[in-house]
């Protein structure tokens, strides 16, 4: 066994090695590692102490223990001192990093609402004033909701007007060709009276400067006792004036839809020339907004409404058409090509 003096030297060697290592440690992590290697429970200093006590003569054990304790104290004290020094240095570096508080900040680019979203929100708000509530339906619809219940049974010629996308392997499912199936969903779910406005995407195999295979419609449906064509006209006129301006007029042209009788095409006086005649309205002074009419009793039969007691009107307008008129946009493709510079032009 080593003499007390030899032991003293061994501890001194360890603490001096340790002191050198922590002096060059540049991070807290590095420092903690060195501390664990020497001062930890399994560290070199404690191991030496344990070994020395074990092999010391009984009368020497106490002195040997004290020698070890003194070395451990040194190791711990130096660790704390070095840790404070490292922290202080980091703090100073932080403070010295110069920050120019007068520099302008980084301006974040704000996102914009898509013009279709803007139009939809405005239209919904106008119809909400008249007591219409928003209803929605899925884009993938049943043949029944999209066609059959709207008085277009299989092989009905009117189905040809709507170039339908069918879902492969599911002969009963289509991408809805209009928002009118939301009428059916609403009436199947609720007894009259109903007053809904249903905006949403629709799909048809169609593509040119005024048609897109995916587009949006906004559907209106009002059913109650005593609803007349005059109510339809009043609601449409109110809406057109609120949305396009008080000077605008509407025109209802006789038309045909299988699910309305009588049916009409709704025109508004041209928003570009105010009815005088221009290129956009093809010199007619009128621009077509969409279809409308009184709900056909045949539709009521499909949703179990009493056609003797209730009458209703419905209309369906193209949202892109409305946005094009409102903002003077000449190509429907603009809405869908994802150019943010386009969307950024509209106030949200």
Site residues (vs ligand PHE, CB under 6 A): 178, 180, 219, 257, 260, 290-293, 314-316
DSSP-derived 3-state class of residue 343: helix
- To ligand PHE, the closest distance from the beta carbon of 318 in angstroms equals 8
Taking the complex as a whole, the smallest distance from the CB of residue 203 to ligand PHE amounts, in Å, to: 11
Q: H or E element: which one contains 141?
A: strand 140-142
The Cβ-side half-sphere exposure at 167, using a 13 Å CA radius, reads 13
Q: Which is nearer to ligand PHE, 199 or 293 (CB)?
A: 293
- Which residue, 104 or 254, has its beta carbon nearer to ligand PHE? 254
Cβ distance to ligand PHE smaller for residue 39 or 291: 291
Smallest gap from residue 336 Cβ to ligand PHE (A): 19
Non-local CB neighbours of 283 within 8 Å, separated by 6+ positions: 277
109 to 93, 115, 120, 313, 340: CA distances (angstroms): 33, 18, 24, 44, 11
| Smallest gap from residue 257 Cβ to ligand PHE (A) | 4
Q: Which is nearer to ligand PHE, 219 or 267 (CB)?
A: 219
Q: Which is nearer to ligand PHE, 165 or 342 (CB)?
A: 165
Question: Which region, left, alpha or beta, applies to residue 184 given φ > 0 means left and ψ of -120 to 50 means alpha?
Answer: alpha
At 317 the three-state DSSP class reads strand
- Minimum distance, C-beta of residue 148 to ligand PHE, in the bound complex (Å): 14
Residue 335 DSSP SS3: helix
């Amino acid at each position: 066994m080593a003499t007390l003096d030899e032991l003293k030297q061994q501890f001194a060697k360890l603490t001096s090695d340790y002191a050198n290592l922590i002096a060059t440690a540049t991070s807290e992590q590095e420092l903690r590692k060195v501390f664990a290697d020497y001062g930890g429970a399994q560290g070199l200093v404690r191991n030496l102490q344990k070994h020395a006590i074990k092999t010391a003569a009984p009368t020497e054990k106490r002195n040997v223990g004290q020698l070890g304790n003194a070395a451990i104290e040194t190791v711990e004290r130096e660790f704390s001192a070095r840790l404070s020094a490292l922290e202080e240095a980091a703090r100073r570096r932080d403070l010295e990093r110069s920050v120019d508080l007068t520099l302008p900040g980084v301006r974040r680019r704000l996102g914009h609402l898509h013009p279709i979203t803007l139009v939809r929100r405005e239209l919904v708000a106008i119809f909400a004033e008249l007591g219409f509530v928003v209803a929605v339906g899925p884009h993938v619809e049943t043949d029944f909701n999209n066609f059959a219940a709207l008085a277009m049974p299989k092989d009905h010629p009117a189905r040809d007007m709507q170039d339908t996308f069918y879902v492969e392997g599911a002969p009963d499912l289509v991408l809805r060709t209009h928002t009118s199936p939301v009428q059916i969903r609403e009436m199947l779910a609720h007894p009259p009276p109903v007053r809904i406005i249903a905006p949403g995407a629709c799909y048809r195999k169609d593509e040119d400067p005024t048609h897109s295979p995916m587009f949006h419609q906004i559907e209106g449906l009002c059913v109650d006792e005593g609803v007349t064509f005059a109510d339809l006209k009043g609601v449409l006129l109110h809406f057109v004036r609120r949305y396009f301006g008080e000077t605008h007029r509407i025109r209802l042209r006789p038309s045909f839809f299988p699910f309305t009788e009588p049916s009409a095409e709704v025109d508004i006086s041209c928003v570009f020339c105010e009815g005088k005649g221009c290129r956009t309205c093809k010199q007619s002074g009128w621009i077509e907004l969409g279809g409308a009419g009184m709900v056909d009793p045949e539709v009521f039969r499909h949703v179990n409404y009493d056609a003797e007691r209730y009458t209703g009107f419905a209309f369906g307008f193209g949202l892109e058409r409305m946005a094009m008129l409102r903002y003077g946009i000449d190509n429907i493709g603009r809405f869908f090509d994802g150019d943010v510079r386009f969307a950024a032009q509209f106030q949200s």
